[in-house]
Amino acid sequence: MMNKPDKLGANGEVDWQRLRQTLRWSEGFWVTFVFTVSSDVADVLLERIGIEAVDLGSSLEVVQPRSLQELERLPTRLLGRAGASGAMVWWRMLTPGRDWAQKLGECLMRLNERRELLTRRLGAPFIIVLRPEHKPIVRDLAPDLWSIRTLSFDFAPQRRVNADVYRFSPRPDGDGDVGDVGLLEDPIGELFALRRGADLEGVLRAFDRLENAGRLHTKAHLKVLIRWSEGLLEQKDHAFALEKACLAEELASELDPSQLPSIQILKARALLGCGDDNQALPMWKSAVRLLGTSEQEAAAGWLLREGWELYLSTEQAMDEGLRRMKLIRAERIFGVLDEHMTAFTEDIGGISWRWSVLTGLGLCLYMQKRFEDAVPVLLGLWEGSDATQPLVLLNVKPQNEGYIKERVYGVLCHSMIHLGDIERALVFGTLLMYLQNAHLNTVKALNATAVVVDLASALNRDDLLQILEERWLLLWGGYLARQEPDFVDLAMAVNVLLILGRASTEHARRRSLVLEALGYARRLYEERAQPAAFLRKTLEQAAELLPEEAEALQRELEHLDSQTPS
């Protein structure tokens, strides 16, 4: 896993080293507080601590209440354990707002009262990640926990415009430089000029100055708040973005209610970034219906991207708890999109919604080992569409497209195995084998081939032949040959025909399959699509499978060798 030093900054890296050493040296229970406003910083730390936990032979339990109710239940959850699991506990609560702060205080009080029990129940490092403004709450309401802390760490977000960014009241001693005056004359125009110049930092600084100067008329203020929130979202500073969106919502409800749905989408984005899906998704669902078509498409595109980002990040999650949490979150997002899929056109901007949403949902279900739920969703991909339709995904890098396709075939193959449907497992295993050959990924292709052969052994050979003839031969044998396949497909066909031939108990059938493979191999060599080695290998295998042809095939081999030294 990659470290992301740029996310912590120089001071943050020094503090990280201290935290890391504390993790390595401490024994048993200890508590430390990490203060940050940035969920990015928290993510980076979580990843690194996860790696440390593995190195230390421990594990990491991630506790991230997503609703006030969950937060309320947290003390019971932590204190009600049967005994110390020895796993480090990472408790993150970065959601801003008075309700959350109040509930946090109550929660900390309960833990503080039961400090001794907490020590016994956890028996391992307890890392509490909070916002800086929560520090007085900890000090005042959980003085024992605060008092016994090993150390505390303040990680500043790297995006921070300046130290006063938290302040909303006008600054009596504002910067007052010439630039301020210029901006205030045509603030929005200037800001958009900066925006077009891609100077996001400059824009954010300007927003800060504008608001603190307190000289914006209300409509301009609303506009600034919306753009500010958008800018912060781009920087993934979700907590600040949420604050700005909330202020914008208040202003818009007085000035221009027509803007409320799009502001609520902003809020939903920020809330989702803060991990509060329970508020974010219902908000998105209610707001998206009120938007125009293009805005709907943009909102849906964003949510789809969030879903995929979450899903793809599970691949890097070291901790099982964190991985599961991310999967559940991604599943909920795809679920919401699935519900609303009919609201959108089949394709938006060249994006196949059906494929993107169902694939995401299916993969999330599969990763949670919910095979029975995953299979119908993934099989639904083929309903009313061409199975070979390219999968286009938002924010998924081009090289990931094939990867996702492979995942779908692989997932279906494994799900079918789990569900005992060997026949269909074989079909998807073969598809996977084809795809991986097509991507020239020899190692993976061989693995898939091994799966297919293993699966075949689960059936009797007659069944196997029938299945392969009906499905595979149709697909890759006759189909590829007749449809003028590209040479990569044909080379793959040679390999699979040889596998089939080897599996065949009926001599005539074996002979037919092997000779067909030989025909393709010779054609590939003649057309210089494959090297001599490919034909040589095919000839050797054919001689082994067809002893009566061995002599003739040996002569062909010698001839080949005379033309091209091995």
List the one residue out of 399, 159, 12 whose CA is nearest residue 3.
12
- Joined together, the tokens standing for residue 566 give 């091995």
Cβ-based nearer residue to another protein, 26 or 162 = 26
Provide the 3-class DSSP secondary structure of residue 483.
coil
List the one residue out of 257, 251, 284 whose CA is nearest residue 269.
284
User: Least distance from C-beta 419 to another protein, angstroms?
Assistant: 44
User: Least distance from C-beta 285 to another protein, angstroms?
Assistant: 35
Residues 106-125 touching another protein, rule: CB under 8 A, are 106, 109-110, 112-117
Cβ-based nearer residue to another protein, 106 or 423 = 106
Helix 98-113 and helix 115-122: axis angle, to 10°? 80
User: Least distance from C-beta 21 to another protein, angstroms?
Assistant: 5
Please pick, from the candidates 5, 28, 292, 531, the single residue that binds another protein as defined by CB under 8 A.
Answer: 28
- Give dist(CA 443, CA 37) in Å, integer: 44
What DSSP letter does each residue of 360-427 carry, written as one string?
Answer: HHHHHHHHTT-HHHHHHHHHGGGTTS-TT-----TT--HHHHHHHHHHHHHHHHHHHHHHT-HHHHHH
270-281 burial code (b ≥16 CB/10 A, e <16):
bbbbbbbbbbbb
User: Least distance from C-beta 442 to another protein, angstroms?
Assistant: 43
- Does residue 11 interact with another protein by CB under 8 A? no
Please pick, from the candidates 3, 11, 21, 389, the single residue that binds another protein as defined by CB under 8 A.
Answer: 21
Cβ-based nearer residue to another protein, 146 or 302 = 146
User: Least distance from C-beta 29 to another protein, angstroms?
Assistant: 9
Q: Which listed range, 17-25, 233-241, 365-373, 411-419, lies at the site for another protein (CB under 8 A)?
A: 17-25
Q: How far is CA 149 from CA 22, 50, 93, 145, 294, in A?
A: 12, 21, 18, 6, 51
- Does residue 14 interact with another protein by CB under 8 A? yes
User: Least distance from C-beta 20 to another protein, angstroms?
Assistant: 9
Amino acid identity at 7: K
Cβ-based nearer residue to another protein, 130 or 251 = 130
User: Least distance from C-beta 118 to another protein, angstroms?
Assistant: 10
- Does residue 30 interact with another protein by CB under 8 A? yes
- Give dist(CA 504, CA 464) in Å, integer: 9
Cβ-based nearer residue to another protein, 24 or 461 = 24
Assess contact for 122 and 29: CB atoms under 8 A.
Answer: yes
Q: Which listed range, 26-34, 243-251, 300-308, 395-403, lies at the site for another protein (CB under 8 A)?
A: 26-34
Helix 260-273 and helix 293-314: axis angle, to 10°? 0
Residues 136-195 touching another protein, rule: CB under 8 A, are 139-141, 143-144, 146-152, 154
- Does residue 27 interact with another protein by CB under 8 A? yes
Cβ-based nearer residue to another protein, 137 or 492 = 137
- Does residue 73 interact with another protein by CB under 8 A? no
User: Least distance from C-beta 289 to another protein, angstroms?
Assistant: 40
User: Least distance from C-beta 8 to another protein, angstroms?
Assistant: 15
- Joined together, the tokens standing for residue 459 give 């059936």
In degrees, rounded to 5, the angle at the alpha carbon of residue 516 between the alpha carbons of residues 510 and 520 is 145
User: Least distance from C-beta 266 to another protein, angstroms?
Assistant: 31
Q: Kindly state the number of chain residues that form the binding site for another protein, as judged by CB under 8 A.
A: 34
In degrees, rounded to 5, the angle at the alpha carbon of residue 527 between the alpha carbons of residues 523 and 529 is 95
- How many helices (DSSP H) and strands (DSSP E) are in the chain? 27, 7
Provide the 3-class DSSP secondary structure of residue 345.
coil
- Give dist(CA 327, CA 334) in Å, integer: 10
Work out the number of other CB atoms within 10 angstroms of the CB of residue 485: 16
Phi, psi of 128 (to 5 degrees): -110, 120
Cβ-based nearer residue to another protein, 26 or 554 = 26
Residue 548, classified by CB atoms within 10 Å of its CB into exposed (0-12), middle (13-18) or buried (19+), is exposed
Q: Which listed range, 16-24, 237-245, 390-398, 420-428, lies at the site for another protein (CB under 8 A)?
A: 16-24
Assess contact for 63 and 94: CB atoms under 8 A.
Answer: no
User: Least distance from C-beta 39 to another protein, angstroms?
Assistant: 23
- Does residue 25 interact with another protein by CB under 8 A? yes
Cβ-based nearer residue to another protein, 16 or 90 = 16
- Does residue 373 interact with another protein by CB under 8 A? no
Q: Which listed range, 2-10, 104-112, 246-254, 335-343, lies at the site for another protein (CB under 8 A)?
A: 104-112
User: Least distance from C-beta 28 to another protein, angstroms?
Assistant: 7
* Footprint of another protein (CB under 8 A): 14, 17-18, 21-22, 24-28, 30, 105-106, 109-110, 112-117, 139-141, 143-144, 146-152, 154
